[in-house]
């Protein structure tokens, strides 16, 4: 995406998130701030935790917790302090916070065929309708799509969502009925797949048809190469979106809507996007975002569409094939992955519940941490049945006086 868009996004959105409550410290205080969501099994935020109920590790070394602030239940901050006596009372469910939240919706238009673009629009509308009026919502569609900075003005968002498009070709021109997962396996010379596909696609020949065999393997290679290009467009789009989001201060929620990131789960399989997926996941982990990935399973819809024009013999394998890359990205980025079959409302509601409250942990650091390099963070809690969501990577600037 263009640098102009990035600059505009950062400037405008920086004003928007200024309303978020953040603790302040004396310049030069050697601490870092870590936002953490603590939720129960039903995704309801857990309130009432004290400092003694958390542990924070940076690069595997336990660090002292200076204070704990809870933002939620009406938007007020309740300070847990550094007391080492855990509260005997069990955590209670927190009502939705009045503190404004910042959401960015990213729509991967590359992944949706034209026949399924309405599924992308509907998922985006569900997110749009789930955002509270006091919260901020931004929109990024990629590739080469719309960029709307986080805002409370819903009009431009509503208009942009109605124009979300699918830009992935419905199918590759071939006389064979090759699925994406079959093409990937043939590309890597999987003998078992060839034993199944060859007699099916090159039938009624008394002797092996070498021309048909060659054409079959060539088409599989072309399909796999096209899938790899599609995957790289998705990854590049996510890179651009995260570059914008990382420039915003504080905790942000990034909701990705995609119909899949094609990727083989086989060693040396194609598309081989493991290294690229790891890099973008690491970028997400360092951007201080709540990451939620909505995998829209439009493949059954496409399969039964007259426009598809192909017989898919491995539709269930294709569903996994397109979902694997997204799931790996979400997991490595410390986020949540949801496969949406029909209705995205339950998943949108879960995102709204989980992000309605958060803890701000102020953690002491050591002089050696101030090196401008990435450090791995791990936060744990004694709260029974709790799940913690927090940034996984922290970069501490060399200069004192900054709180990250």
pLDDT category at 395 given cuts 50, 70, 90 is: confident
The pair of structure tokens assigned to 249 is 């201060």
Q: Is the pLDDT of residue 341 over 50?
A: yes
CA nearest to 21, candidates 62, 63, 59, 72: 72
Q: Is the pLDDT of residue 224 over 50?
A: yes
Residues in the chain, total: 404
Specify the pairing of strand 65-71 against strand 358-364: antiparallel
Chain position carrying tokens 């070498």: 210
**Predicted pLDDT at 305:** 58
Mean pLDDT, range 133-141, rounded to an integer = 96
What are the DSSP E strand ranges found in 123-251? 136-142, 147-151
Quote the CA–CA distance of 216 and 212 in Å, as a whole number: 6
The alpha helices in 18-154, defined as continuous H runs, are 117-130
Q: Are 294 and 258 in contact (CB under 8 A)?
A: yes
Q: Is the pLDDT of residue 372 over 80?
A: yes
Model confidence pLDDT, tens digit, residues 250-277:
889 999 999 999 998 887 788 888 899 9
Most distant CA pair in the chain, distance:
84
Mean pLDDT, range 392-400, rounded to an integer = 82
Would you give the end-to-end CA distance of the chain in angstroms?
27
More confident call, 354 vs 175 = 354
What Cα–Cα distance (Å) separates residue 20 from each residue in 81, 99, 255?
21, 7, 19
Model confidence pLDDT, tens digit, residues 151-207:
999 999 999 999 999 988 655 677 888 888 999 999 999 999 999 998 888 876 555
Mean pLDDT over each residue of the chain, to the nearest integer: 83
The pair of structure tokens assigned to 202 is 């090159």
CA nearest to 284, candidates 249, 254, 322, 312: 254
Q: Are 177 and 310 in contact (CB under 8 A)?
A: yes
Q: What is the CA radius of gyration of the chain?
A: 24
DSSP state of 270: S
Q: Is the pLDDT of residue 85 over 60?
A: no
More confident call, 67 vs 312 = 67
Name the β-bridge partners of 206.
Answer: none
Q: Are 18 and 390 in contact (CB under 8 A)?
A: no
Model confidence pLDDT, tens digit, residues 265-308:
887 788 888 899 999 999 998 888 999 999 999 876 665 555 55
- H helix or E strand, kind and range, residue 47: strand 46-47
Quote the CA–CA distance of 361 and 79 in Å, as a whole number: 10
Specify the pairing of strand 252-258 against strand 102-108: parallel
Backbone phi, psi, residue 245, to 5°: -65, -40
Model confidence pLDDT, tens digit, residues 89-111:
344 343 444 578 999 999 999 99
The pair of structure tokens assigned to 305 is 């569409």
Long-range CB contacts (within 8 A, 24+) of 79-86: 80/49, 80/50, 80/51, 81/50, 81/51, 82/51, 83/50, 83/51, 83/52, 84/51, 84/52, 85/50, 85/52, 86/50, 86/52, 86/53, 86/382
Q: Are 314 and 179 in contact (CB under 8 A)?
A: yes
pLDDT category at 82 given cuts 50, 70, 90 is: very low
Name the β-bridge partners of 36.
Answer: 359, 390
Q: What is the pTM of this model?
A: 0.83
What are the residue boundaries of the structural domains of the chain, listed by start?
29-97+364-395, 102-171+203-353
Model confidence pLDDT, tens digit, residues 2-41:
433 544 465 455 545 544 544 443 334 589 999 999 999 9
Q: Are 292 and 253 in contact (CB under 8 A)?
A: yes
% helix, strand, coil for the chain, step of 5:
35, 25, 40
**Predicted pLDDT at 397:** 82
Q: Are 72 and 97 in contact (CB under 8 A)?
A: yes
Quote the CA–CA distance of 72 and 355 in Å, as a whole number: 9
CATH number for the domain whose boundaries are 102-171+203-353: 3.40.50.410
């Amino acid at each position: 995406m263009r640098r102009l868009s990035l600059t505009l996004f950062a400037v405008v959105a920086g004003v928007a998130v200024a309303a978020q409550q953040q603790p302040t410290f004396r310049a030069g205080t050697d601490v870092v701030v870590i936002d953490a969501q603590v939720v129960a099994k039903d995704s309801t935020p857990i309130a009432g935790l004290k400092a003694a109920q958390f542990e924070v590790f940076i690069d595997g070394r336990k660090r002292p917790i200076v204070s704990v602030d809870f933002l939620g239940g009406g938007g007020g901050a309740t300070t847990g302090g550094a007391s080492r006596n855990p509260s005997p009372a069990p955590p209670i469910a927190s009502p939705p916070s009045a503190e404004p939240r910042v959401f960015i919706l990213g729509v991967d238009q590359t992944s949706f065929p034209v026949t399924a673009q309405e599924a992308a629009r509907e998922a985006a509308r569900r997110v749009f309708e789930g955002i509270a009026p006091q919260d901020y919502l931004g929109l990024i569609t990629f590739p080469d799509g719309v960029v709307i900075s986080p805002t409370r003005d819903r009009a431009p968002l509503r208009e942009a969502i109605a124009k979300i498009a699918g830009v992935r070709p419905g199918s590759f021109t071939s006389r064979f009925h090759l699925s994406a997962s079959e093409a990937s396996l043939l590309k890597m010379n999987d003998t078992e797949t060839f034993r199944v596909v060859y007699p099916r696609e090159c039938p009624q020949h008394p002797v092996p048809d070498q021309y048909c065999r060659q054409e079959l393997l060539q088409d599989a290679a072309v399909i796999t190469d096209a899938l790899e290009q599609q995957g790289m467009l998705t990854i590049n789009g996510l890179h651009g979106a995260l570059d914008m989001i990382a420039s915003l201060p504080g905790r942000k929620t990034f909701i990705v809507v995609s119909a899949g990131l094609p990727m083989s789960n086989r060693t040396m399989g194609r598309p081989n996007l493991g290294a690229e997926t790891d890099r973008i996941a690491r970028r997400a982990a360092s951007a201080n975002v709540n990451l939620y990935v909505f995998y829209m399973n439009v493949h059954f819809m496409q399969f039964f569409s007259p426009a598809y024009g192909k017989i898919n013999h491995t539709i269930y394998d294709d569903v996994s094939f397109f979902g694997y890359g997204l799931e790996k990205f979400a997991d490595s980025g410390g986020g949540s992955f949801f496969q949406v079959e029909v209705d995205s409302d339950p998943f949108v509601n879960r995102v709204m519940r989980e992000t309605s409250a958060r803890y701000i942990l102020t953690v002491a650091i050591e002089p050696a941490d101030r090196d401008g390099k990435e450090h791995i963070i791990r936060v744990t809690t004694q709260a029974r049945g709790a799940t913690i969501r927090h940034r996984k990577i922290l970069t501490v600037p060399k200069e004192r006086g900054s709180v990250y």
